[in-house]
Amino acid sequence: MGATTIGMMDAAYFVGRNEILSWVNSTLELSLCKVEEAASGAVYCQLMDVVHPGMVSMHKVSFDAKSEYEMIQNYKVLQDVFNKLKIGRHIEVSKLVKGRPLDNLEFLQWMKRYCDQINNNHVNPTYNAAERRETCKGGKEMNRRALGTSSSSNNSQVSAKSASTVGAKANGGGARRVTENTNPNVNGGGRGGGVVGGGLSAARHMKDGMEQVSGVNEDHVKQITELKLSVESLEKERDFYFTKLRDIEILCQAPELSYIPVVKAVQRILYAAEDDPSVIAEAKAMVEGESSLGILSPGSQYLDDNQDLLG
């Protein structure tokens, strides 16, 4: 199945925000923190440039787009690429430029599926994302921000490693001083042996305790990640079925259909305030009552009119 024809319940739409952001940042050498940062359309244009080099007019793309008018210009470039490649995916520009997370997440999920399909799940090794962005308006500033974020992250890691090294050296020095100032025997007896043996035993217990805490923290992080993915999937499924119910509601409100008994029964179920079994019974009674009057019987004028409308 092509990426342009995948359904809303396809696995592509259950990829979480974190995985999507990680994919975008690694592919385009960016440092996005939220999916709505792609709302300007520039990110979408460059993702298409990755899989179809030279097809996107990158000099027309603006990474500095702030107003909806500027963002729409980016989407015009994207739509032009879609037209050239005969991609049937509809771009809901009016929703994407609003910067709503769900709309942009959905489009990024589709983009990932499309790019994976074209590249066979491999990143183009010859593509220089930062260099291509240089030709865009605001591209140089975007590169500086991405580089600054990366440098800041690296500095934090270096600082943490340095602090860890200093601590380890301090602990090592303390251990050596204790050893030098004591007079342990082979069996660990005597005053000196007791101090050293006790110190080593305490160190071992502390090490074991730290390993246990580290293992618990990793388990918690894993559980939290799994819960977040589960919540995102449930939210996606909820929104999908809500949209379906809303479409049914709009159809039932059409003047030419609102008097049909079946439509009235459906509305009774839709507008029920509580999950009460009696609602279903009432809806059935509404349909059966009209049917007993011949309104829905074969050959009736009402049935013929309904069939014409539905036809």
pLDDT digits (tens, 9 = 90+) for 261-284: 888 888 888 877 666 778 888 888
Looking at the domain assignment, is residue 123 inside a domain?
Answer: yes
Last residue of a domain, one of 125, 144, 163: 144
User: pLDDT tens-digit profile of 223-267?
Assistant: 888 888 888 888 888 888 878 888 887 888 888 887 788 888 888
Looking at the chain, the whole-number percentage of residues with pLDDT higher than 90 is 38
CB atoms closer than 10 angstroms to residue 7: 9
pLDDT of residue 297: 46
Q: Give the global pTM.
A: 0.51
Q: Can you give the residue range of the structural domain that contains 279?
A: 253-310
Tokens at 47, concatenated: 């993702």
140, 267: one domain: no
Dihedral-angle region of residue 122 (phi above 0 means left; psi in -120 to 50 means alpha; beta otherwise)? beta
Tokens at 188, concatenated: 């660990």
- Looking up tokens 């380890």 gives 168
pLDDT of residue 12: 83
Contact (CB, 8 A) for 40 and 67? no
What's phi and psi for 271, nearest 5 deg? -95, 5
Distance, CA of 127 to CA of 114 (rounded, Å): 17
- DSSP structure string for 82-128: HHHHT------HHHHTTT-HHHHHHHHHHHHHHHHHHHTT---TT--
Predicted confidence (pLDDT) at residue 34 exceeds the cutoff of 80: yes
Looking at the domain assignment, is residue 220 inside a domain?
Answer: no
**Which stretch of 26-30, 207-211, 230-234, 250-254 has the lowest confidence by average pLDDT?**
207-211
CATH number, domain containing residue 37: 1.10.418.10
Rounded to an integer, the average pLDDT of 157-181 is 48
pLDDT of residue 153: 53
CA-to-CA dists, residue 253 to 236, 258, 296, 303, angstroms: 26, 6, 20, 19
Last residue of a domain, one of 89, 122, 144: 144
- Looking up tokens 């005969």 gives 86
Predicted confidence (pLDDT) at residue 133 exceeds the cutoff of 60: yes
Last residue of a domain, one of 144, 179, 209: 144
pLDDT of residue 51: 94
260, 139: one domain: no
Contact (CB, 8 A) for 31 and 146? yes
